[in-house]
Amino acid sequence: MNLVDSYGRKVDYLRISITDTCNLNCTYCSPPFSGRAHLQRAEILSYEELTILAESAVAAGISKIRITGGEPLVRRGAVDFCRMLSGIDGLADLSLTTNGIRLAELAGPLFDAGVRRLNVSLDTLRRDRFATITGRDGLDRVLAGIGRAEAIGFDPIKINTVVMRGVNHDEVAELAGWTCKKPYQVRFIELMPFQNGTGTPHRELYMPIREIMSLIPGINCSRIGQADTSSGPARLCVLPGAIGKVGFIAPLSWHFCGSCNRLRLTADGKIRTCLFSQTEIDLKTPLRNGAAKKELIDIFRDAVQTKSQGHRLNENAFQCSSKRGMYAIGG
């Protein structure tokens, strides 16, 4: 059965956040100067509860699930949870987004558990800059994790880079050049107007995607478009002779809401129909009150009908405001 929203979009993709904890402290992800307000343990759904909701989502029409966080690999038992999900009848695709810190040790178990696609967040190839952006000296571990994942056979491996003017924009060409020798998708993402921990206004850090593209000599974007069903909102381009692809994700410059196919489930059981949504739909309460599977399925179906036509990021002075920081939504 297909899930179709009130604007005719087929919704078949669910991102499940399993924790709001992360072992990095990226400046664009964390609230400014105020630390992080984490969920209490009792608020976070167990893996068994999350599996029930995932089964309900698949029964409603979801066919693809991505595990996110926070950093999902910091939660104990994440690999076992992936194995639980991969056994759901009707689930066609299981993927995971990670910062890569624990990837080298867990890539093998994740592959064995049924995960085949990975997104790895990496904003710089410079060790000192990595520590400045993330608050931790962990670049070598991330690079080792990416290499291990490639050797095991994950495909595709997507490298997600948030570009910030004056912070890492001078590495765009170098990162794109990775695709000449590696079969990765290196995807450059416009900085979104969530509050950040740099103390610098968004307008000063933000670079539009066309400017980012201009930093990559020889990039061929004559056939910009979604190369395959796994590319999501990224528009893919190539460098001459490259074996990988360069992607561009531009929530401000290119309005891709018309093809949005996703829902998000927070670690405490709330559906968000958009990353920038100001409202959430509660699943935890009916679940813990013993709701039948049909009731949970209907909540997913009803949630899809509340999905808005588009975000408001292009409106002047719009600033994403939410009770949750980006680290607690799952990106």
pLDDT value of residue 272: 94
Q: Which residues contact 80 (CB under 8 A, 6 or more apart)?
A: 47, 113
| Closest-CA residue to 36 (of 141, 166, 135, 139) | 135
- The total of other beta-carbon atoms located within 10 Å of residue 76's CB is 10
Query: Rounded to an integer, what distance in angstroms lies between the CA atom of residue 64 and that of residue 257?
Result: 18
Q: Peptide bond preceding 183: is omega within 30 degrees of 0, i.e. cis?
A: no
Do 327 and 271 touch, CB atoms closer than 8 A? no
Q: What is the pTM of this model?
A: 0.92
pLDDT value of residue 254: 78
The token duo for 11 is 């919704």
pLDDT value of residue 322: 53
Do 56 and 112 touch, CB atoms closer than 8 A? no
pLDDT value of residue 34: 53
pLDDT value of residue 197: 61
Q: 13-328 belongs to which homologous superfamily?
A: Aldolase class I (3.20.20.70)
pLDDT value of residue 261: 93
Return the bridge partners of 187, or none.
Answer: 160, 247
Following CA atoms 113, 68, 48, 269 in sequence, which dihedral angle do they give, to the nearest 10 degrees?
-160
Query: Rounded to an integer, what distance in angstroms lies between the CA atom of residue 248 and that of residue 215?
Result: 13
Chain centroid, CA 282 distance in Å: 21
pLDDT value of residue 252: 84
**Averages of pLDDT over each 10 residues, the chain, 331 residues:** 92 97 87 67 97 98 97 98 98 98 98 98 98 96 98 97 97 97 96 74 92 94 51 84 94 79 96 87 98 98 91 51 64 62
pLDDT value of residue 312: 60
